[in-house]
Chains A and B, each alone.
Chain A
């Protein structure tokens, strides 16, 4: 699904040159749930931004779902991002003056879906995260956990093959965090590849595979995915978020 080989990313100003990623290689297979861990400033977010086609890289090779993205134009990157990738952010990043329906609608609009198709997808996505009855509500009327579930619905509505989550539970209390994580696991079980950046070892432990990043390099990784057990308590908690 995602393969980066010997990738590097250098930020340059006229005074300073910063190597955010160096000789960075990773291979995420279709349907995997991978947690990327590492301390602050290690390059996790840079990796996620490059994986999400939000930033370009300096050197190396990057194949996304078999497509070589090196040298790809801005429009083509936007299209590819819109079609294949869903984002979940730590700060939810919902648009405050759009209701839930319209927030989930945003990526679908850019995808060019017809109105009826968009409505169906939005209904399904909000139903899946348990918020269909609140689609006319505004983000400010929801709890943090509910807002993150709307963000997940927005990421899912376009049926992406890859979900990128940047500290998805960082702004949530433990109960809400468990619910969101449980939801991500369910999404993964349905076939969507998930890459989650986190500095929380407990969360990382729930993923199938861990990749540890330090100083812009992968320092430790599991080659094969682990078997994951279903956490029934967490699934119960989901309904209460």
Chain B
């Protein structure tokens, strides 16, 4: 009977094209508004590395001002100082670890036709690639020996490789950055995490890096970070003074392959800070954090409050559209009361009529959903055009496509429940005379 009811639903839509168009448009607009905002929230709040997000942990140590907390909520600073990053790297207590910071270097291309340009990159350790698993098109990351020897090696992103080498395999080629030659050891394939989760401090929606170079090499070159840098006290002059300061400017990630290892590492951090306290550092109460990827995203409130408010408003709009649809369905089913009475007289039971009209409502919902999906695509394109920051997250994934279809069908079925129930209450005898 399902296919029969489905055919009847289609016929019924054709019978009143204007009414049908109004209902489909109403659902489509409500769906598009809610799905556009929901998509932004979904992408921004979704797990960026689900296969290992529970094993990757962000380290926070509270080395801040004894007289005032880092923020009003009592969180420890969101970055670490150079000397703490170095101490943790040397201790090497995690399965993998990588300190990192954002750096800007001018690149002088071999090709004289390409002008030198300033490029943003990431200074980090070789473990970065094993921890965050960016895909490689050519070559790979560098090893611990390169970290130890301050190796002049570089991993290029796909875009940078396109710009410098026309997209060819450039492993072994040289790239001159700030007057120093680096040897290309790897070229990434397309890698644009929707949220730049490994460096939220410098912008969750920031553009991805253009290259990766060894942390130790950049420190040796005395290149300052180009990212966020915060200090709470005076620093000694010069590069060495800066490195010895309590200024925070680095991110520190560890990979811990079991909860037990995570607990051990947390204990290690506490021990480390307690030892440092004996040396006169860390004047605030012990407040270290070890958050996994999703906890870190939540802690940093990656989904802004206004996006959440927007989702609420858009669903309120969907509710208004559905109320409108309920009214139109009531009108439609009332016009059909003669036919409903006839079908009852010809043997249709109430459950059969209910099924028929709910399926008819679902047909409207699916049509509205399909049109709403198109409008959602359009809405997300508009978001990408109007808000450049959201360019990387305003994309519909399959989960959201499926959600759109389910939501629109559910919305139409909900909207259809009351009119359908009313239709089934029609007394057939009263209708047959008036047909």
Are A and B part of the same complex? yes
What band does the interface of chain B fall in when counting residues whose beta carbon is under 8 Å from A?
20 to 34
Whether B92 is near chain A, meaning CB under 8 Å from some CB there, is: no
Name the B residues within 8 Å of A89 (CB-CB).
432, 435
A-B contact count (CB 8 A): 68
Whether A75 is near chain B, meaning CB under 8 Å from some CB there, is: yes
Assembled-state Cα–Cα distance A90/B434 (Å): 10
Contact A107 B346 (CB under 8 A): yes
Partner-contacting stretch, out of B25-33, B208-216, B336-344:
B336-344
Whether B351 is near chain A, meaning CB under 8 Å from some CB there, is: yes
Given contacts A93-B435, A95-B342, A97-B15, contact A107 B347 (CB under 8 A): yes
Q: Number of A interface residues, CB 8 Å?
A: 28
Assembled-state Cα–Cα distance A109/B11 (Å): 17
B344: contacting residue among A78, A109, A111, A154, CB under 8 A: A78
Name the B residues within 8 Å of A27 (CB-CB).
none
Residues B2-54 near A (CB distance < 8 A): 4, 11, 14-15
Whether A169 is near chain B, meaning CB under 8 Å from some CB there, is: no
Contact B349 A75 (CB under 8 A): yes
User: Helix, strand, loop or mixed for chain B's interface?
Assistant: helix
Name the B residues within 8 Å of A75 (CB-CB).
349-351
Whether B433 is near chain A, meaning CB under 8 Å from some CB there, is: yes
Contact B347 A79 (CB under 8 A): yes
Per-position binary interface string of chain A over residues 88-111, scored 1 when its CB falls under 8 Å from any chain B CB and 0 otherwise: 011101010110000000110111
Given contacts A75-B349, A97-B11, contact A54 B344 (CB under 8 A): yes
B164–chain A nearest beta-carbon distance, Å: 67
Assembled-state Cα–Cα distance A110/B352 (Å): 8
Contact B1 A74 (CB under 8 A): no
Contact A82 B346 (CB under 8 A): yes
Contact A81 B347 (CB under 8 A): yes
Whether A45 is near chain B, meaning CB under 8 Å from some CB there, is: yes
Whether B244 is near chain A, meaning CB under 8 Å from some CB there, is: no
Whether A43 is near chain B, meaning CB under 8 Å from some CB there, is: no
Assembled-state Cα–Cα distance A97/B433 (Å): 20
Contact B350 A74 (CB under 8 A): yes
Given contacts A81-B345, A93-B342, contact A49 B350 (CB under 8 A): no
Residues B382-435 near A (CB distance < 8 A): 427-429, 432-433, 435
B185–chain A nearest beta-carbon distance, Å: 68
Assembled-state Cα–Cα distance A111/B4 (Å): 13
Query: Which residues of A are in contact with B by a Cβ distance under 8 Å?
Result: 45, 49, 52, 54-55, 74-75, 78-79, 81-83, 87, 89-91, 93, 95, 97-98, 106-107, 109-111, 154, 158, 166
